[in-house]
Amino acid sequence: MDMYEQFIWSAYGATAILLVTLLAYSLFRYRIAQRQLDELVKNNREQGEKTSKVEKNS
């Protein structure tokens, strides 16, 4: 490499930072959404079980 090394590494570094950030952020949002959906499904199921128990008892 020559005197322009800093420009080359800056270009590769900027590319890596932007793409890794984009990928990580997308994965992070996916995980959060998936967790929220799982919790919602779990709560709905628990509530459904409670309601059916109350109906049976009455």
Partner 1 sequence: MHKFANPAQFTKIASRVLPWTSSFAAVCSLFGLYFGIFDSPADYQQGETVRIMYVHVPAAWMSLFIYSLMAAASASFLIWKHSLADIAARSLAPIGAAFTAITLITGALWGQPMWGTWWVWDARLTSVLVLFFLYLGYMALVNAFDDPEKGSKAAAGLALIGFVNVPIIKFSVDWWNTLHQPASLSRLDAPAIDISMLTPLLLMALGFKLLLISILIIKMRTILIEKRIEAKQLLKSG
Q: How many helices (H) and strands (E) does the chain have?
A: 1, 0
Position among 42, 44, 49, 52 found at the interface with partner 1 (CB under 8 A): 44
Q: Which of residues 16-35 bind partner 1 (CB under 8 A)?
A: 18-19, 22-23, 26-27, 29-30, 33-34
Tokens of 37: 């959906």
> What dihedral angle (degrees, nearest 10) is formed by the CA atoms of 25, 30, 31, 36?
130
> Where along the sequence are the contacts to partner 1 (CB under 8 A)?
1-2, 4-5, 7-8, 10-12, 14-15, 18-19, 22-23, 26-27, 29-30, 33-34, 36-37, 40-41, 44
